[in-house]
Chain A
Amino acid sequence: MNIIQIHDLCKNFGDNQVLKGINLTVETGQIVGYIGPNGAGKSTTIKILTGITSDFEGEVWVLGMNVRENPIEIKQRIGYIPEQAALYDVLTPIEYLRFVGKLYQLSDANILTKSTELLRLFELSNKSDLRMNGFSKGMKQKVLLISGLIHNPDIIFLDEPLSGLDANAVILVKEILSQLKKAGKTIFYSSHIMDVVEKISDRIIIIDKGRVIANGSFEELKQNASQGSLENIFTSLTGGSEQHQETAKEFIDILNSGQHG
């Protein structure tokens, strides 16, 4: 069953067309890696799918519901973890999770049990009563992860969930994502870290300049592009490594040119 369906999705910011007719479907229980260069339209797609942005062209269904018509019902059943670790950091993790939990209309007891336990898993138990303005980016990211999962959503949208996490936490998050998949959850995952996407995704969608340029399992992409790693496939599809070498060389030349003047 298709849990996400996108049909001819376009989005403009003024004159700038960010999404130029995206078509894709996601099946229940899949982990989908959604990758693309900066400015390709990844975050915009996720904001539309999560009902945060309602101004777009085309049709989008999530959990069988139209995003435009049922944003609240959809939000109740999905989790979203944004890239930027923006949270009310004068609150403690427990207080922040209580706040978010209440926005999902969870009961006090439910929120307290879940947040205490999940914080323990992320080794934040001893910090659960400290204000988060002293936290590192990784610690805040962990709290954000919990806040996006606390209501046990059916689909989880992650926008660069690993940014700022230490190596151990990255392994833990990867494991959690695999377990969530086993539990029947669907995961829509946007990232720059290719090797993680390569390892955990059932399907990989590459988007560039507002269009889907590749869509399939890692094996399928490898066959089509005849390249080794996902990173190589990605660079060959979105610009090519030769061009990067050229750019890097030019970069150094420009830096050097100003040295004596």
Chain B
Amino acid sequence: MDKFLLKLILAFVQRFVRNGIDFDQLKIITETKILMDRRRVHVNYNKQKNKDPKNPLLITLIFYCIFGFFFAIMIFTLKSIQLSMIFFHAYLLVMMAMTLITDFSSVLLDTTDNQIILPRPVNSRTIFVARMIHILVYLLQFTIALSILPLIAVFVTYGIAAGLAAIVTSLLMVAISVFITYLLYILILKFSNEQKVKDIIGYFQILMTITFTIGFQILPRLIDFDQIDQSFSLSWYSYFLPPVWMALTVEAFKEFLFDPLHVGMIAAAITLPILTFWFMIKYLAPSFSRKLAAMQNSDGVAKKKTTDKKESRIFSERLSSLFCKKEIEKAGFEMVWKITGRDKGFKMQFYPGFAYIFVFIFIFVFKSGKNLGGIMEDLPNSNGYLWLIYLPMLTVSGSITLVAFYEQFQAGWIYYSTPIKYPGQIISGAIKSLFLKFFVPIYTILFIAAYIVWGNKIINDFVFGFFANAMLFMLTAIFGEQSMPFSRQFNIKMQAGKFVKFILQLVIVAVIVAMHYFALKINWLIWLLILPAMVATYFMIKKIKSYRWRDITI
């Protein structure tokens, strides 16, 4: 599939884009990248059979198909073609931008090929387009998965002409989402200093994730679908929104309606993605590559005295003595504490996830359609705080998988050359470190917030919740692949499943919230459950500590 899509994109680029791009170089770069994605394996220090990880890309594609299924139903049920097509295209835009930002940011801003490609006579536009095509190959697979069922629905409901138009508009929509994301990154890179770029991008990812998630999750809740379907009309400003251009284009082909409005919309739908693309290649691509090169160079400059870091060093060392018994476990605890705070790769992939916590709190806690004042008044009588207890784990548990990966994963040789009998001790140190560093602070903040709103009655829930979360965290660690911290190679395909995993975890959290909710009916039960949760956590840590080399994926 990926090879076929690559050929398709390359054929398109060869035909339509000649602006300063060396096509032969472009072809070999992109083909090699796809080949590398397929072949990427872990270094094998010890001859052990690598358990073949399930293909996260395939799982993601299946889930995107399921999302698409719901939109197909919507297209069948909504009477207005304009409305259903606006929703469909907006959904494509949001899903693609989300996938791009959460799963592929690190690829977009990857600096590792600088060393290999920059010394060769390849111009910056070619590098830029190669990078874009590399991502497009994956995005197109997502697009197909997401839109195949809705598109069938369009063919069935509105006929062949509308269906064909919808295929084109879906692709244009994906192009727009890529360009918008890219454009924003380029602008950030253009107007900021290299040293700060990495941090800014991290914060920016969080901001983007919040914006898109709010757009996707919260706005539809504020819309009354029945009413809107009957009395739907477009306001003047909606003609500036890409999903509206696409929707009206599809409508034009369904009704064969080519009045000035529809023709204008068709023109906007086609020309804007092309214009953006041209503008990026012509003006922004060269500086983008330059800035990325500079980013990598600045990696090599450690001018800043890390006296401030000394404090955090001492802090993590104190904590490790408090929470770990063995020296080896302390080593795992401390190095994970330190590296997670400094490694750009980890930070860029992990921190944006925190946005979800707040977005989902908004969705679940403030779910009624009333005005904010009314919600706040009702809040103390609700059980909304249960979500506050369990939502942080959604994001925090992601750190367990991420902590195995590192750009210079070769540094992991140290584990194999030192006398470690139970590598599980390093892992248990790492897990404790992640829990204390990322879960405890946010849980404390949420506890304080909940205490202000709900008062004393939530204390037992939060105490039990703490151990239930610890249990969940350990469970995630036990059921995942066991890897030594920062010892595995980053792989674009591994990145692909993140969003879907997140949705799956959301379901698990919902189940636990429901169980906790039913337990609330018997007041003393929560207190009683604290002890088993503590004991279970203890034994799970013990299990992790006992892992030997044969249990570790290398």
Residues of A within 8 A of B486 (CB): 88
Question: Does the CB pair A86–B47 fall under 8 Å?
Answer: no
A144 to B: closest C-beta gap in Å: 9
Q: Is the CB of A53 closer than 8 A to any CB of chain B?
A: yes
Residues of A within 8 A of B418 (CB): 75, 100, 103-104
Q: Is the CB of A29 closer than 8 A to any CB of chain B?
A: no
Question: Does the CB pair B46–A103 fall under 8 Å?
Answer: no
Return the contact of B416 from the options A52, A76, A90, A98 (Cβ within 8 A): A52
B357 to A: closest C-beta gap in Å: 26
Interface residues of B in 139-174 (CB under 8 A from A): none
Residues of B within 8 A of A102 (CB): 327-328, 330-331, 334
Question: Does the CB pair A133–B302 fall under 8 Å?
Answer: yes
Question: Does the CB pair B419–A99 fall under 8 Å?
Answer: no
**Stretch binding the partner chain, chosen from B206-214, B406-414, B522-530:** B406-414
Q: Is the CB of A253 closer than 8 A to any CB of chain B?
A: no
B388 to A: closest C-beta gap in Å: 33
Interface majority SS (helix, strand, loop, mixed), chain B: helix
Q: Is the CB of A41 closer than 8 A to any CB of chain B?
A: no
Docked Cα-Cα span, A131 to B408, in Å, equals 14
Docked Cα-Cα span, A130 to B300, in Å, equals 12
Residues of A within 8 A of B45 (CB): 47, 52-53
Question: Does the CB pair B46–A52 fall under 8 Å?
Answer: yes
With contacts A86-B408, A86-B413 known, is A104 near B335, CB below 8 A?
no
Interface residues on A, range: 35 or more
Q: Which residues of A contact B (CB under 8 A)?
A: 47, 50-55, 72-76, 80, 82, 84, 86-92, 95, 98-100, 102-106, 108, 129-135, 147
B378 to A: closest C-beta gap in Å: 48
| Apart from A95-B313, A102-B328, A105-B326, 20 more pairs, CB < 8 Å | A47-B45, A52-B45, A52-B413, A72-B421, A75-B420, A84-B410, A86-B408, A88-B339, A89-B411, A95-B334, A95-B335, A99-B331, A103-B328, A103-B419, A104-B418, A105-B328, A108-B317, A129-B306, A133-B300, A134-B302
- Number of residues in B with C-beta < 8 Å to the partner? 40
Q: Is the CB of B226 closer than 8 A to any CB of chain A?
A: no
CB pairs A–B below 8 angstroms (26 shown) = A47-B45, A50-B417, A51-B417, A52-B46, A53-B47, A73-B419, A76-B419, A82-B417, A86-B413, A87-B411, A88-B335, A88-B408, A90-B338, A90-B342, A91-B339, A91-B342, A95-B338, A98-B317, A129-B306, A129-B309, A130-B306, A131-B342, A133-B300, A134-B300, A134-B303, A147-B414
Q: Which residues of B contact A (CB under 8 A)?
A: 45-47, 299-303, 305-307, 309-310, 313, 317, 326-328, 330-331, 334-335, 338-339, 342-343, 406, 408, 410-411, 413-421, 486
Docked Cα-Cα span, A147 to B339, in Å, equals 18
Question: Does the CB pair A106–B327 fall under 8 Å?
Answer: yes
Question: Does the CB pair A130–B302 fall under 8 Å?
Answer: yes
Residues of B within 8 A of A90 (CB): 338-339, 342-343
Question: Does the CB pair A72–B338 fall under 8 Å?
Answer: no
Residue of A whose beta carbon sits closest to that of B417? A80
